[in-house]
Structure 1
C-alpha cells in the first residue's frame, strides 16, 4: 500500500503546483493542436519527418501484433519522454525537464492536429490516450519541480545542504514515478489496442 500511499501524500502536499502543471501540460497540448489546425504546414512537416524516419512504417507493421505494439509504445514513452525529456534534464539543470517537456507537448499537439477527416476520426479514441499518458507525465513534471526546489532550497525538506536536498528531491521523484509508470502501462495498452481494433471500426462505419 505504501507504493500508492506515499505518492498520493506527495500530491496532496503539493496540490497547487500539481494543478498548475496540469494546466500547463494540457494547455500546451491544446495550443499545439490549435497551431496544427491553423498552420497545416507544421503538421505536414512533422508527418513527413516521421515518414522519412521510418516511424510511420514501424507503426503500420506493429498493428498486426498489438502486444508487441504495446511494448514498443511503452518503451518509447519511457525512453523519449520520461527519461530524455523530463528526468535527465531535471538532473542537470533545476526545472530543466519542465522546459523540455513544454516543447514536446506543443510538438505532440501539432502532430496530432485534426487537419483532415482521417486524423479527426483517429483523434476521437486517441484523446483518451493523451489524457492518460499526459497525466503520467504530469506526475513526473511534479517530481521535476520538487527536485529543482529541493536542489535550490534544501531547507524546504530540512536538508543540510544542496547535495542532500538534491538526493531527497530524487527520492520524491522516484515515488511519483511509480504511479506514472502504472499510467504509462495502461496508456500503452489502450493506445495499441485502440489503434489496432477501434480506429478501423470507426472508418468502417
Structure 2
C-alpha cells in the first residue's frame, strides 16, 4: 500500500508539490500575521479557552500516552475526516477550502508572540512538518478523487459513479501513509510538550 502511494505521488508530482506549497505556505502566512497582530493571536487562543481545548490539554499533561491518543483522535476526526475527507466525498475538492482555513488559523495560533511560544516552536516545528504532511497526503488523495469524479476517463471509468468508487480507492491508498504520520506526530507532539518544552521555556 505504501508503494502504491509513492507511485501515485510520482505520477502526480506537480499536484503533490503544489499542495505542499499551499499547506506550509498558509501556516507560515498565518504565523506572520499572528506575530504582526498579537490581538488576532489572542482572539484565536481565547476561542480555544472558550471551547475547553486549553483546559483539556492542561489536564492531560501528566498523562503523555493519553495526551498522544487525544491528539491523534482530534487530528483524525476534526481535520482528516470532517474537514478534508467527508466534504470531498460529497463535492469534488470541497475539503480544500476547509483545510486551508484550518492551516491558516493554526499558523495564527502558533505565532511567536512571546518567549514561551517562540521556544516551544523549536521542538514543535517537527510536529508541524509531520502532521501537516499527513494532511497533505489526504488532500492529495481528495484531489485525485475530485479529478476522477469530474473526468471519469482519467481512471478508466465509464460513469461518474464508477469514477467516484475508483477515486475513493485512490484516497484510501493515501490514508495509509497519512495514518502512520498521524500516529508518529501525535506521539512526538505529546512527549515533546510534556518533557521538552518545559525545559526550553524554563531555560
- TM-score in same-fold range (> 0.5): yes
Please state whether the residue corresponding to 1:81 is helix, strand or coil. helix
Question: Contact 2:5–2:174 at 8 Å: present in 1 too?
Answer: yes
Cα-to-partner distance string for 1:85-123 (whole Å, 9 max, x where unaligned): 100110111101111111110010001101111111111
Alignment correspondent of 1:169 = 167
Match of 2:92, SS state, is: coil
Contact 2:79 2:99 in 1 (8 A): yes
Distance 1:34 1:204 in 2: 25
C-alpha displacement at 1:29, in angstroms?
0.6
Pick from 49, 52, 59 the counterpart of residue 51 of structure 1: 49
| Larger deviation, residues 66-75 vs 50-59 | 50-59
Q: What does residue range 90-129 of structure 1 map to in structure 2 within 5 Å?
A: 90-129=88-127
2: CA distance between counterparts of 1:18 and 1:73?
25
Tell me the SS of whatever aligns to 2:194: helix
Larger displacement relative to structure 2 (186-195 or 90-99): 90-99
In 1: Cα distance, 2:116 partner to 2:55 partner: 17
Report how far residue 128 of structure 1 moved: 0.5
Which of 75, 81, 84 does residue 83 from structure 1 map onto? 81
Q: Provide the rounded CA distance (Å) in 2 between the counterparts of 1:122 and 1:181.
A: 25
Flag structure 2 segments of 5+ consecutive residues without an equivalent. Answer: none
For residues 106 and 201 of structure 2, what CA distance do their matches in structure 1 show?
23
Runs of 4+ residues deviating >6 angstroms: none
- What is residue 66 of structure 2 aligned with on the other side? 68
Deviations 1:50-97 (A, max 9, x none): 112211111011010000000000000000110011001101111011
Q: Alpha-carbon deviation of 1:41?
A: 1.1
Provide the rounded CA distance (Å) in 2 between the counterparts of 1:53 and 1:18: 34
Query: How far apart, in 2, do the equivalents of 1:19 and 1:203 lie?
Result: 35
| Alpha-carbon distance between aligned partners in 2 of 1:143 and 1:47, rounded to the nearest angstrom | 31
Equivalent of residue 35 in structure 2, options 30, 37, 41: 37
TM-score with structure 2 setting the length: 0.98
1:204 Cα shift?
2.7
Q: Is the 8 A contact 2:115 2:201 kept in 1?
A: no
Residue of 15, 18, 29 corresponding to 1:17: 15
Which runs of no fewer than 5 residues in structure 1 stay unpaired? none
